[in-house]
């Protein structure tokens, strides 16, 4: 069973439809699940507050080797903290911070390309430079370069930002884009995660 973590924000129906699984906020169901998915939208600090009662269950699942997928803010929550909410601690699975786009229009909304930086099972069967759908104003800056699975180039002319758009290490995978809104490529990412 795949448990999709319900923090009471965002529309999880499209994630459930694309991935299957059970939408839940019940720690017992998460403990029983074979895989965990953390979708997220909204303010980093507000989501961290809602996440707090489940922090231990999520970290235990990751430490036990269960496949874990973070989506959008779910990727950002894997890091130590965010400029958006100073003082709010992320899960700290990866070292690094989340920062706001500067010098480019925000939020970054729409289709953009993902350029692979290393092999990652999520992207099996997906060509380098494939398009995915993004909606965000912040992005992760990992301190550990070896976790970066994909990057995306955003902006125009001389005002461009190349940011980390996918990470993976061992059983932990996360994407800044919304696979559930990314058509065929997104469905393939979800299918690849299901097959882990």
Kindly list the catalytic residues: 72, 178, 180
Beta carbons within 10 angstroms of residue 59's beta carbon: 14
Terminal Cα-to-Cα distance of the chain (whole angstroms): 12
Q: How far apart are CA 94 and CA 167, in angstroms?
A: 10
Q: How far apart are CA 175 and CA 168, in angstroms?
A: 9
Q: How far apart are CA 75 and CA 69, in angstroms?
A: 8
The pair of three-digit structure tokens given for residue 42, joined into one six-digit string: 């909204």
Q: How far apart are CA 49 and CA 153, in angstroms?
A: 31
Q: How far apart are CA 21 and CA 188, in angstroms?
A: 16
Q: Which of 53, 48, 64 is closest to 98 using CA atoms?
A: 48
């Amino acid at each position: 069973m795949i448990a999709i973590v319900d923090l009471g924000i965002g529309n999880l129906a499209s994630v459930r439809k694309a991935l299957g699984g059970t939408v839940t906020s019940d720690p017992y169901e998460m403990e029983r699940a074979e895989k965990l998915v953390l979708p997220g939208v909204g303010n980093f600090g507000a989501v961290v507050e809602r996440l707090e009662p489940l922090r231990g269950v999520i970290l235990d699942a990751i430490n036990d080797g269960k496949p874990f997928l973070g989506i959008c803010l779910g990727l950002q929550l894997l890091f130590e903290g965010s400029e958006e909410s100073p003082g709010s601690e992320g899960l700290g699975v990866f070292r690094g911070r989340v920062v706001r786009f500067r010098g480019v229009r925000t939020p970054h909304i729409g289709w953009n390309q993902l350029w692979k930086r290393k092999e990652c099972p999520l992207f099996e069967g997906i060509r380098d430079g494939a398009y995915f759908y993004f909606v965000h104003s912040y992005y992760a800056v990992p301190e550990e370069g070896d976790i970066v699975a994909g990057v995306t180039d955003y902006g125009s002319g001389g005002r461009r930002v190349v940011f980390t758009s996918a990470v993976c290490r061992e059983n932990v995978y996360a994407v800044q884009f919304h696979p559930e809104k990314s058509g065929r490529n997104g469905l393939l990412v979800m299918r690849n995660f299901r097959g882990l």
